[in-house]
Amino acid sequence: MKQNHHFRRIPDYIEQELNNTHSQHVIVAAIIDTSKSEIARGAYRHLGIKVIEGNIQFPQTIQPDKLSGIYARRNLNGIIWVFKNLPKITKTFSFDSPNFGDPDKGYHTTYIDRKVYQRCFEPPRDWGIILKVINQSEERTRIKAEINTILDRQHPDFRKDLFFAINLLQEQCRDSHVFDATISDEELARVTTVGWEIFPPGSMDRTLSIITQRLRNSSPERQREIQKRANILNHLHPTEYIVGSGMNSRYFGAKFGEKVVVFENIDYGNALYILFDNWQEISQMSRIDILKRHERDFIRIIHKDGWEKVLKRQLNELRDK
């Protein structure tokens, strides 16, 4: 796998999913939307997903390899936390030494006191990932990857365990979500299918209101950034606005005619995507699955200085085709 991506805090979209899930018990899961060709290329080798004699095969449960990421390593070995913000404490160390430097004369024990940082050992969780097909067609297969533990929202360590679980799954699948522990595979398949709410031109205020409602505890700076991005799309005269639902509820964007769609993400710092031709099909995929496709299927523009001009130029080129 390439570079691992972890959360520094529980992200807003997970908080929103928790708000929408009123059950006491929840699970952490992701949906892998893939094809036989992607699996054959080894995209999910680390999860044990393979194509053998034309059939997709994988174990029911896998233990994330400790070499596949920092959370996989902590999951198996635990972690020692060093508290450098606390005062050091005195710890006594001992070692055996030969008497007068001669092992033939026996050994004695030497004790040394040293000041060390306070430490705490967090034991391994030893969680696995359950894999199961929830939907399959000739072209694509959707596999549920679920952490094999149920989280209790009333447990004092709930948020600590949730943070660990979403990071472990994010590390392995590049995606993670929270669901009611009793959700069926049929319900999960429906929930995780991306849908889009369509709004006509001139309804930017309403669209922006829906987007900002999904931001929890956001700073004024972040609110302004989201509004700036939305206004830039508005000034390019889209034919319709779109807002994601389901697992893509943190996405919004605009249509430019019937074939060109620009997707934005309310998570600060992400890139935007331009899809065309078969955007309805591609938009059903996660961001990670989109990136696995051939570059001719999308255009990715990173939010850095001058991205607005790049977006305008790309749209003009697509309109001229």
Question: pTM here?
Answer: 0.65
Read off the pLDDT of each residue in 131-141 and give the average, rounded to a whole number.
85
pLDDT at residue number 287: 58
27 falls in which pLDDT band (50, 70, 90)?
very high
| Rounded Cα gap, residues 207 and 241, in angstroms | 7
- Alpha carbon separation from 119 to 75, 82, 88, 91, 114 (Å, rounded): 18, 5, 10, 11, 14
Least confident of 96-105, 183-192, 253-262: 183-192
Q: Which amino acid is at 88?
A: K
Q: Is the pLDDT of residue 279 over 70?
A: no
Q: Is the pLDDT of residue 249 over 50?
A: yes
| Rounded Cα gap, residues 222 and 269, in angstroms | 10
197 falls in which pLDDT band (50, 70, 90)?
low
271 half-sphere exposure, CB direction, 13 A CA radius: 13
The packing angle between helices 204-213 and 220-235, to 10°, is 150
271 falls in which pLDDT band (50, 70, 90)?
confident
